[in-house]
């Protein structure tokens, strides 16, 4: 008697599901999270397994206690990168809308993915600081201007923009849907969808 493997066996899933980490970096209020949620909805509608590792949620649940020194920011980014790679290696499309201001921290995450054979796509949401400060989703720019906070990325703390991201989105020049479509097209082109 011969048995036919279940259509959703582990081997079958591994052969038909490609995971990837899609890292959206940019200034506060650049539109990273908004684009991530728009793309996530589209990917879920197409039947993909998707997770969003939102920077604010990670800070609350995975990196509580870390501050905003360069070292703490690096540790935070490495933790997020580890979780993202773990999920992506199991066939999940992981969207990571995180500022990640330092290029060496992002490069370390990319290298981890490369070493594990997991796809990594870096997207720079390149919204100018003057546009971000008008959007000011969390009121950070207003607090910084009022002297209530310091160390705001891109204002009085550095942001090292990616020199050669896989995609650069200028969200101030297009709709959220257009930005998500641009990223969707890139993932299709790279064979990740």
What tens-digit pLDDT sequence spans the chain (193 residues)?
444 343 333 333 344 479 999 999 999 999 999 999 999 999 999 999 999 999 888 988 888 889 889 999 999 999 999 999 999 999 999 999 999 999 999 999 999 999 999 999 999 999 999 999 999 888 899 888 898 988 889 888 899 999 999 999 999 999 999 999 999 999 999 999 9
What's the pLDDT at 149? 87
Nearest alpha-carbon partner for 100 in 118, 75, 121: 75
Residue 171 is assigned to a ligand binding site: no
What's the pLDDT at 137? 85
Residue 145 is assigned to a ligand binding site: no
Please give the angle made by the CA atoms of 62, 107 and 152, to the nearest 5 degrees: 60
What's the pLDDT at 136? 86
Could you tell me the pTM of the whole model? Answer: 0.88
What's the pLDDT at 143? 87
Q: Are 83 and 10 in contact (CB under 8 A)?
A: no
Q: In whole angstroms, give the CA distance from residue 109 to residue 15.
A: 25
Residue 29 is assigned to a ligand binding site: yes
What's the pLDDT at 98? 96
Q: Are 123 and 39 in contact (CB under 8 A)?
A: no
Residue 9 is assigned to a ligand binding site: no
Three-state secondary-structure class, residue 16: helix
**How buried is residue 22: exposed, middle or buried, by Cβ count under 10 Å (0-12/13-18/19+)?**
buried
Residue 105 is assigned to a ligand binding site: no
Query: What separation, in Å, do the N-terminal and C-terminal C-alpha atoms of the chain show?
Result: 37
Residue 154 is assigned to a ligand binding site: no
Alpha carbon distances (Å) from 185 to 16, 53, 189: 19, 21, 6
Please give the angle made by the CA atoms of 183, 45 and 83, to the nearest 5 degrees: 65
Q: In whole angstroms, give the CA distance from residue 37 to residue 40.
A: 5
Residue 28 is assigned to a ligand binding site: yes
Residue 111 is assigned to a ligand binding site: no
């Amino acid at each position: 008697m011969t048995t036919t493997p279940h259509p959703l066996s582990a081997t079958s899933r591994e052969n038909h599901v490609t995971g990837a980490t899609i890292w959206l970096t940019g200034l506060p209020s650049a539109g990273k999270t908004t684009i991530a949620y728009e793309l996530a909805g589209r990917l879920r509608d197409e039947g993909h397994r998707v997770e969003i590792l939102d920077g604010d949620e990670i800070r609350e649940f995975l990196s509580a206690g870390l501050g905003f020194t360069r070292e703490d920011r690096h540790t935070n980014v490495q933790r997020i990168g580890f979780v993202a790679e773990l999920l992506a290696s199991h066939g999940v499309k992981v969207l990571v809308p995180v500022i990640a201001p330092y290029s060496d921290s992002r490069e370390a995450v990319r290298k981890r993915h490369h070493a594990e054979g997991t796809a990594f796509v870096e997207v720079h949401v390149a919204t100018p600081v003057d546009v971000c400060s008008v959007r000011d989703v969390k009121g950070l720019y207003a607090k910084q201007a009022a002297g209530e906070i310091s160390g705001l990325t891109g204002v009085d703390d550095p942001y090292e923009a990616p020199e050669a991201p896989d995609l650069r989105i200028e969200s101030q020049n297009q709709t959220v849907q257009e930005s998500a479509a641009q990223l969707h097209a890139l993932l299709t082109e790279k064979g990740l969808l």
